Every structure is written in C-alpha cells, then in structure tokens.
Amino acid sequence: MGYQLHPLDGGLGREVTGLDLAGPIDADTAAALRADWLEHGVLVFRRIGTSPEAQLALSRCFGELEPHPIELFRLPGYPELILLSNENGPVAPIYDFGDGPETQRIPWHTDLAFMPTPNAGALLRMVRKPARGGRTGWLDIAAAYDALDDATRAEIDGLEAVYLFRTGLEEMRFNQPGGTRLSPRKDNYPHFPPVANPLVWTHPETGRRVLNVSTLNIDHIIGQRGEAGDALIRRLIDHCLNPRFQYVHDWEEGDMVLWDNRRTMHAAFGHPADQIRVVHRTTIKGHVAMGRICDEAEGVAA
C-alpha cells in the first residue's frame, strides 16, 4: 500500500494522499506512516474518514489507544473513541465573545498537560461540520523552541511550571480570550491534582527539545511567583503564537488530522452554538512521564 506526502500551508505537517483504508493497513505502510508522523508532527488525511472502524484502524498504526480519562466524552459502543458533539445539548461551555453564543472554543493547549504523562498523540475525524466556524489549529512548539535565542534558552533551562485542569476559559491566567460565559458550570469532573511540568521537555522518541507552555493550563513558574515569572510566561506564549509555527485546518466531512501531542499545541476556534459540530477522536497513549504531581506548596495557585 503506497501513499504520497505534500507540504501544508505553513511550516508544520504534511498532507497524505493515495492511502486506501478499504482494506487492512500492512505493516510496512503502518511503520512508514508512524515515521512520517514523528518527523512532521501533523498528518492530514482528507475525506477518507468514512467510519469509526476506518479511524480506529488508522489510529492503531501509531501506538496503543486509550480511553479518555473523563468517561463523559466516550462514544457509546466504541470505548477508544471520544465523541465531541453539541447535537444533544452543549458538551462544551457556551460563551459570548461579542458575536453571539459560541461553543467548542478551546485555546492553545497540549492534551493532558494537567497530568504527569501526556498522551502521545490523537487522530480527529470530522463527522458533521458546522456551516460556519469550527476550524482547528496546530502549533509546532519544537520549532518554537528552536527559534528561541540562546539567552532565553539558558533562562528557562531546568524551570518547572504548575499546570492545572481547567473547566472553563475564565479560569485561564494566560492567553485568556475573554467573553461572557452563558452556560452553567459543571461540578461532576474528576479531581486532578496540580502537576509540575518542565518548561522545556525532550521528546521521548525524536530527542527534540520542546517549549511546553500549554496556555489553557499553565498557572505559574515554580520559584518565580509574581510579575517576573508571569512576564516570562507571557513572553514565551507570545513567541509560540507566531503564525509561522501554525497550521490551521478548514474541515470537510470525512477529514482526519493526526498530531504528535508531545511536540505540538492545538486549538479549537469555536463555532456558533446553534450549529451542530460532531467529531470523533482517538487518543494514542503516552508511556513517558514528563512531569510530576506537585506538593501542596508548589501547587497553590499564584
């Protein structure tokens, strides 16, 4: 089974064409796809995500799959698939950012940044796209680290920051998008203790250095509470958010996008709350702990 790679807009990722998911994926093709995923960070597969089975078969080329830690998001009958949909009511908070009610906006983040072991990656499939909005972006934080000057690299080497599970955008300390929350808060999430992650981590398979500033979750730098530490976080985030590190996908139904969660951040840009968006996602299990559970003094919010 063969396929071809094509550059995407921006410096991140490749589009895969010529891949046939009608039959089994042979071992050589699976190994080649996995190598391309590690090299390029993001792989785009247009309009071949025709079923949960096709998505699961492709996902298994990249590693062991795991259910989402929050059972609320699991797709019935497919424990390894996550269902993100507002078809039967909001699954994500609704906000008004000035243009009317909007949902499924999630700012730049690394999945499971609030846990010691992030997942290795994920494969997202568009099942039903909204008429307006609903784009997803990816950001290359390995390239962002490479672009840092030597002084900043030395400044952040060995530093840790505290990352927290967030149940709403209003809880974010950095890159906060504003807006007014319209939907009630939910209190039925499991408890996740604060986690200390390094500001720079090393990719466990490629060895690349990665700038870790998950904007949704980062709270403060350990040992640098106050304005000096906050200013450093803002500076690193501003550096990461440069468009030259980004790829933004305009979805069509049946598209699938795979990303390496250990070298990218991603963001969902939201869509009008009265429009339906349905996506399925698999999660590729991570096996290397990047961080640690904080002790009580370190984990207290700044």
pLDDT in tens, 241-267: 999 999 999 999 999 999 999 999 999
Check residue 1 and give its pLDDT: 63
Read off the pLDDT of residues 194-227 as tens digits, 9 standing for 90 and up.
999 999 999 999 999 999 999 999 999 999 988 9
pLDDT > 90? residue 21 = yes
Check residue 70 and give its pLDDT: 65
Q: What is the mean pLDDT of the segment spanning 1-5?
A: 87
Check residue 156 and give its pLDDT: 98
Task: State both tokens at 19.
Answer: 């891949």
Check residue 299 and give its pLDDT: 66
Q: What is the mean pLDDT of the segment spanning 61-70?
A: 85
Q: What is the mean pLDDT of the segment spanning 89-110?
A: 89
Q: All domains of the chain, ordered by start, with CATH?
A: 4-299 (3.60.130.10)
Check residue 225 and give its pLDDT: 84
Read off the pLDDT of residues 142-181 as tens digits, 9 standing for 90 and up.
999 999 999 999 999 999 999 999 989 999 999 999 999 9
Check residue 77 and give its pLDDT: 83
Check residue 69 and give its pLDDT: 65
Check residue 301 and give its pLDDT: 56
Above pLDDT 90, what percent of the chain? 80
pLDDT > 80? residue 72 = no
- Give 36's pLDDT tier (boundaries 50, 70, 90): very high
pLDDT > 90? residue 229 = yes
Mean pLDDT of the chain, nearest integer: 92
pLDDT > 90? residue 65 = yes
Check residue 67 and give its pLDDT: 81
Residues facing 81 on adjacent strands: 282
- Tell me which of 36-45, 183-192, 246-255 is least confident: 183-192
